[in-house]
Structures are given as C-alpha cells and as structure tokens.
Amino acid sequence: MPLPKRRHSAARGRKRRTHWKVKSTSLISCPQCKQLKLAHRVCLVCGYYDGRQVMEIKVKEKKKKSR
C-alpha cells in the first residue's frame, strides 16, 4: 500500500470534508390534521397515512389537581 510521504495540512483535510454535511429532514404537512410530519410515515398526531387511518391514537387525559 502506498503511503503519503508528508503530512497533509489541516486546511487540506478541511477542504476535503466540506461536503460532509448533515441534510435537514424533509417535513410535509399532514392532509388530515395539517401538522408537520416526516414524509412517507404515519402521522403521529392523527394516525393517518395515505388517506386512511392505520393507527389509533390514544388521547391522554389531564389530571385535575386535588388539594
């Protein structure tokens, strides 16, 4: 295996790594509830995917404070 004769500078390594970017997630609005969701996933708010309900969402009840 060939090895480099000299050490690469930090700038040269950084130039090479400029394209190692993290892509932002693509969010779309749910056609049912209009909340943002990941594309091609079930909506976690209403449970709909592709125009039909595929998951039942349980609603948490708020507890009243007792004195």
- Asked if residue 43 lies in contact with residue 33, where contact means CB atoms within 8 angstroms, the answer is yes
pLDDT of residue 60: 79
Cα 7 to Cα 13, 20, 29, 43: the distances in Å are 10, 21, 50, 51
pLDDT of residue 35: 95
pLDDT of residue 62: 80
pLDDT of residue 61: 82
Q: Which residues contact 42 (CB under 8 A, 6 or more apart)?
A: 48, 49, 54, 55
Q: What is the pTM of this model?
A: 0.57
Mean pLDDT per 10-residue section of the chain, whose length is 67 residues: 90 93 91 94 93 88 77
